[in-house]
Chain A
Amino acid sequence: MCQLSKVQIYTPSKIIQLILEGFEDKVLKSEVLWDCLTCNQCLKDCPENINFADLARMARYKMRHTTNKNVEELIAHKGVYTTISEIMSRPYINPDRNLDWVPKDCPISDKGNLLYYVGCLPFFNYEHDKVDSIAISTLQILSKIEKEPIVVFKDEVCCGHDLYWGQGKLKTFIKLAKKNLEMFENAGVSTIVTACAECYRTLKIDYPEIFEDFSEKFEVKHIIEYIYEMWKEGEIEFISSSELSEEISFTYHDPCRLSRFLPKENNITEKVREIFKEFEKLNYKFNEMAHNKSNSLCCGVNSWMNCNEKSKALRYKRMLEAKDAGTVMVTSCPKCRIHLSCLQKDYENLASIEIVDFSEFLIKHIKIIDKNNKKEESE
């Protein structure tokens, strides 16, 4: 069922019908497809398996090239973030990223085996509170586990997700992809870890569509997968960070990119829950929200598009569900976290919910298992 239709008149089935009947022009002209959240909730219920988000994506590409509408006007934050992405796609522009956020005890390198692909997180810091703590936590986890310095690019460019899904800028997206590929190759990396649901989907699914051998060359992992594997391989265990006097109930918000945008075998939704189940030993109580896994509700905003009261209503609904489920809400998409916590500024009744990223949640609870002296030492 279309999530958007709960807050405004929106009927994907009618749009598809119009297209099938040969009124594609009319659909493009009406620009209704700019509104789609590309959450892919409808795909789950579609008997014909129509990928509506993909349809919206392609329509945006066409709309951009056929109508006069100034799309930049539609984008939240006046399109500044997508503008940054576009600038990065230019051939001779290499970003000089501020790496001040990198903790002192985390050695980084520009060449090596494992790349932490940071994404655009640190760019948002000026507008949204403490977003880079996601990056800090992730890098700390990686540094703790890995023996070699982690590769972090000073001139990392955008993955292109927003241009691809939100803006209909296919060519710019491909430019970015090529730039990224070249950098990955030059740095000699074989594993790419990211904490961003959007980067993950893009590198995991969309880049291999462009570069045939991408998947052969690079193994792309979300930090959830990475930790899951390390845990299963017996490299790490989960511990309580401090003495919790009372049980903490928490819940998990599945980002669309990690739930509905991946092939079934990927299974991140289940892996993360397996980890959380383990946390019940640490005086945590995991509760599901009313909508979860592939049925998860949307954070209301996609690709920095549509922030408005309709989007707020969607977020509000999600936050009410979270409030019913626990005091902490974990998510694994930085933008979900930004958008959901942004709403807390407007509504006091939602302020009590602590919204954290998976990495931030995990960082205090990871312990390396020293395989040589397993029994004697503790840390």
Chain B
Amino acid sequence: MEGSVLVIGAGIAGIQTSLDLTELGFKVYLVERTPSIGGRMAQLDKTFPTNDCSLCILAPKMVEVFRNPNIELMTYHEVKKISGEVGNFAVTVLKKPRYLDETKCKGCGDCATKCPKIEVPNVFDMSLGKRKSIYIPFPQAVPPVYLIDPEICLKLTKGVCGVCEKVCTVEAIDFEQKPQDIEINVGAIVVATGFDMPAEQLSSRWGYRYQNVVSALEYERILCASGPFEGHVLRPSDQKEPQKIAFIQCAGSRDLHENVPYCSSVCCMYTAKEAIITKEHSDNSDCYVFRHDIRAYGKNFYEFTQRAQDEYGVKYFQSKISSIEEDKDNNDLLIHYEDLKTGKFSDFKANLVVLATPLVPTKGTEEMAGILDVELDKYNFYKERSYFNKSLSSKEGIFLCGFCQGPMDIPETVTDASGVASQVAMILNSVKFNEIREKEGIEPEREIKITDEPRIGVLICHCGINIGKYVDVSSAVEYVKTLPYVVHVEDNMYSCSSDSQIRIKELIKEHNLNRLIVASCTPRTHESLFQETCVEVGLNKYLFEMVNIRDQCSWVHMNEYEFATDKAKDLIRMAVAKARLLKPLTEALLDITPNALIIGGGISGLTAALNLASQGFQVYIVEKENKLGGNLNDLNILYPIHEDSSKFLNEIKNKVEKSKNIQVFLSSKFKEIKGYIGNYNVSIIDSKENTQDVKVGTIIVATGALELKPEGLFQYNEKNKNVITQLELEKKLKSDDKSWLDGIDRITVILCVNARQKKGITYCSNVCCGVSLKNISIIKELKPELEIVVLYRDFQMAKKEFEEYYRDRRKESMFLRYDLDGQPEIVKINEKPEKYQVSVFETNLQDQLQFETDLVVLSTPMVPPENLQELAKMLKVPLDKNRFFLEAHVKLRPLDFATEGIFLCGCAQWPKNIQDSISQANGAAGRASRFLSAKTIKTSGLIAEVSQERCIGCGKCESVCPYNAIELIDSLLDFEEVSLNVSKSFINSALCKGCGTCAATCQNGAISVKHYDFDQIYAMIESYLLE
């Protein structure tokens, strides 16, 4: 069995799964067919609903992949052949020629500057921008390495030119490179090949052939500051600012004629985001969204689309598009559409049209499926083995992750990625850490005393011409030689090259250096490299200091040679002043108890428990009810595959009971939870007040959610037996006695009861539409002659299976649409048997309708259980405004809390269906097992520290710490004549991230951050000012 994993595709799905896999103890081969990792997310401008800069939150992860010694990054490679089976796959990977040696290329870009070839459309910019024949896809590309396009390179096509070869100082260019097959062996394979947005395949009525009709992904590039128009909203035809921008939703998706019957699931949200960003970019622009249903069902999503309208003045039309034509004179667009609110056909003139075109499996999916020998579904997405575990492909050992399995947004993708990693760990559990590389040849750390005279060595990097051309490096070298405690200075072409690392080691030994400074590029990408080099020759890594004289100096002062040189000198002098005061810091190793606590025994908690148990960890499940299963106990049949809920639940319960690693505490809650990551002491108390203490290393919160009882709404009260909630209907359908159906001829289902409102519950609860449709189908089977009327606002059926499921149900019942302005009214007109009159304004028909009904079913949103506050306080984790648990980051850390060691999944985070709950549970288990697998956790040296003498226990630091790393501890102090209780702040080194917020807040200057303490910073400032 191999302890390594092949990950195909290095978008956010592949990146996240690779990072998690290495932490779980596996070597990863990350194969990406394009020249850089990052995928689609790297192309996006901002991400909804937080409007974070997409690349800004992705780039750190890309760099992490780049630096990770256990990820073999194979960009510009393609998987060609796979044989074998789970545990032992043999894979042939084709290495495509970059025509340069990527181990030599430093990404300086000298070659591209000189490359004469006429520019061609840049694929990364969706062909809106241009690039040369030797190019890097985008500035933040990982690896930061160039490549040559053989189709347009003059040397490769015509045998002339070759200027890049001449200007490349590291001699990286190699025109002789040939494609090369590489054989690797892996235990498992993860497919994360993502999606395409091929607008050109749309039928002509969408008008994509016109210049000023762009796809949403093209529009992302237009919005992006690093895009072709540098963030100015300009239209392609004349590069003028468009005033009226029309966003067309469902442009081709949910459309049988376009062959894309499913909903692409993310367009409603990114359209709202793009409209908001457009408004932020230019006040003059007006944004119009031509919508169908609003499918914004994620956490705070629906509110986001409302904000677009209320705060940014984006106008939404509920409409159907018939065609888009171009006005030849000015390249404006004429949109012919039907306004569904008025039923009128109108024309709308826009300067720019953005199409939310369907997202489809990436090009080449069919071939890849052939190579993998796995099945695709009818839409060409990879087919999952079971609806309830969408991560498993049809073949054992091959996993699916992200959009290649079906439409999903980034948080869901990240969740999937972590879930896949944990499921890989389940099957390859016995070979964990077999292929993980530990650093070799590290010399024991040299003892450096504070009293030792500082001996500082400084390396100044030319970075090719990146620094060398704009800064007088040799004069900087001479200058730095004159600074105190500097014993050696030299310059080099590339400080980051491997021969430079050898040189650094020599220098440290030769000059007996006890501080090292490298003045070069950014510490973000390179600090850890130099630190590792220092560690290899026994120099504590915190005695290294890096100066950025490129990004913040040479790059921004390209036309100011002298100033740039002076600034570089200033920056280095400041670093020398600081380096003098650097102290060697230790990184403590803390043991992790390899046990997990799972709070909540619903489907999420049980799934997470089984996952962790099969990875060999002891799991404790604490459930407040007297049985496991949570909401599943009340459900009848599960949609959309109509499996019996009890059967499904019993299978899982059986597995839990059989597992020797799982201990269940029913009817129990917590007396106390104390401790921190790796070391929690949990005191569990049951209904008979018996307590039991367990020790765990990590905690997963899976507390679930409940159906809201709509007291007082739509005649829902104790007296009216025939006004029930969806869950109550579910229970009726589950019971064997179906006689209640006898007197019933018409059922009315009302969706969005007390949900998606301006006040009260503002969110969409995500699952109610599906549940309602399922129950329609079940009732229809039981009593086909029954009439069912559904009153709905929008249908949230955004999974690939759901659109058709929904369409089938439409045949079985009558669907009437209402909106918030015309809520349905229910009046009781007969007591026995109960009969109700329903009046509603149907917005599609623009007509007031009235009819009678025997049974009213209300679909209400899911709400968090009561008293979560108490638990949240005990765990020191936050709740959001809707009282669900608040994750660390809605986009990229949906399963983590900001407090390390605690995770969440399922409806504790947000209402979701069983498939998503299971996916999150596996993901949370994956996140948690990273720590459990590691057995120990290494604290950083760069952490905050409290001077107990100066602390006055005011507690301000505790309230601002984003990681809950600070605790106030009381102790009794004795003085002459008086004793008093004094609070002191303590920082948990296992939780502290060294962000320094506490140090900035402390009004007594009692907190300082190691490696960035006040003395060091003042020394830098003084050294700058005093010169």
Contacts and interface: CB of A to CB of B under 8 A. Distances in A.
Interface string A332-349: 000000000000001100
A308 B948 CA distance: 10
A347 B976 contact: no
B1014 interface: yes
A78 interface: yes
Interface string B978-1017: 1011110000000000000000001111000000001100
A46 interface: no
A77 B1005 CA distance: 8
A310 B976 CA distance: 11
B952 interface: yes
Interface residues of A, number: 22
B847 interface: no
B980 A307 contact: no
A346 B1003 CA distance: 17
Given A76-B1003, A77-B1003, A316 B973 contact: no
A374 B973 CA distance: 59
Interface residues of B, number: 21
A312 B972 CA distance: 13
A98 B980 CA distance: 39
Interface string A201-223: 00000000000000000000000
A76 B1003 CA distance: 6
A313 B1004 contact: no
Contacts of B978: 313, 316-317, 320
A98 B1007 CA distance: 33
B953 A346 contact: yes
Interface in B569-595: none
A76, A346, A347: most-surrounded residue (chain B CB, <10 A): A346
B1014 A6 contact: no
Contacts of A77: 1003-1004
Contacts of A72: 1005
A70 B1015 contact: yes
Nearest to B984: A309
B801 to A, nearest CB: 58
A320 B1005 CA distance: 29
Given A6-B976, A77-B1003, A78-B1005, A309 B982 contact: yes
Nearest to B1002: A78
Contacts of B1018: 70
Contacts of B982: 309, 312
B980 A76 contact: no
A313 B975 contact: yes
A308 B975 contact: no
B802 to A, nearest CB: 55
B176 interface: no
Interface string A56-75: 00000000000000101111
A76 B954 CA distance: 12
B1022 to A, nearest CB: 10
Interface in B938-958: 949-953
A335 to B, nearest CB: 16
Contacts of A307: 952, 1004
B440 interface: no
A317 B973 CA distance: 13
A7 B973 CA distance: 10
B977 interface: yes
Given A6-B976, A308-B952, A312-B980, A73 B1014 contact: yes
Nearest to B949: A308
Contacts of A78: 1002-1005
Contacts of A80: 1003
B1014 A347 contact: no
Nearest to B1003: A77
Contacts of A308: 949-952, 1004
B1005 A347 contact: no
Interface string A7-51: 100000000000000000000000000000000000000000000
A158 B953 CA distance: 30
Given A70-B1014, A73-B1005, A6 B983 contact: no
Interface in A306-361: 307-310, 312-313, 316-317, 320, 346-347
A76, A78, A309: most-surrounded residue (chain B CB, <10 A): A309
B977, B980, B982, B1015: most-surrounded residue (chain A CB, <10 A): B980
Contacts of A309: 952-953, 973, 980, 982
B976 A7 contact: yes
A367 B508 CA distance: 83
Given A73-B1005, A308-B949, A312-B952, A347 B975 contact: no
Given A73-B1014, A78-B1003, A313 B980 contact: yes
B949 A7 contact: no
Contacts of A7: 975-976
A74 B1005 CA distance: 7
Contacts of B1002: 78
Contact of A76 (B973, B975, B981, B1004): B1004
Contacts of B976: 6-7
A76 B1006 CA distance: 10
Contacts of B973: 309, 313
A146 B337 CA distance: 79
A76 B950 CA distance: 9
A307 B953 CA distance: 11
Nearest to A309: B982
Contacts of B950: 308
A77 B976 CA distance: 27
Contacts of B952: 76, 307-309, 312
Interface string B163-199: 0000000000000000000000000000000000000
B973, B1002, B1003: most-surrounded residue (chain A CB, <10 A): B1003
Contact of A6 (B951, B975, B981, B1005): B975
A7 B975 CA distance: 5
A76 to B, nearest CB: 6
Contacts of A76: 952, 1003-1004
B980 A347 contact: yes
Nearest to A317: B978
A321 to B, nearest CB: 11
Contacts of B983: 346
Contacts of A316: 978, 980
A262 B733 CA distance: 91
B130 to A, nearest CB: 52
Nearest to B1014: A73
A318 to B, nearest CB: 10
Contacts of B1015: 70
A308 to B, nearest CB: 6
A299 to B, nearest CB: 15
Nearest to B1000: A78
Interface in A62-107: 70, 72-78, 80
A74 B973 CA distance: 22
Contacts of A310: 975
Interface string B37-61: 0000000000000000000000000
A310 B951 CA distance: 11
Nearest to B983: A346
Nearest to A307: B952
Interface of B: 949-953, 973, 975-978, 980-983, 1002-1005, 1014-1015, 1018
Given A6-B977, A313-B980, 11 more contacts: A6-B975, A76-B952, A76-B1004, A78-B1002, A80-B1003, A308-B950, A309-B973, A309-B980, A312-B982, A313-B975, A346-B983
Q: 6 closest pairs, A vs B, by CB?
A: A313-B975, A309-B982, A6-B976, A73-B1005, A7-B975, A77-B1003
6 contacts: A7-B975, A70-B1018, A78-B1004, A80-B1003, A308-B950, A346-B953
Interface of A: 6-7, 70, 72-78, 80, 307-310, 312-313, 316-317, 320, 346-347
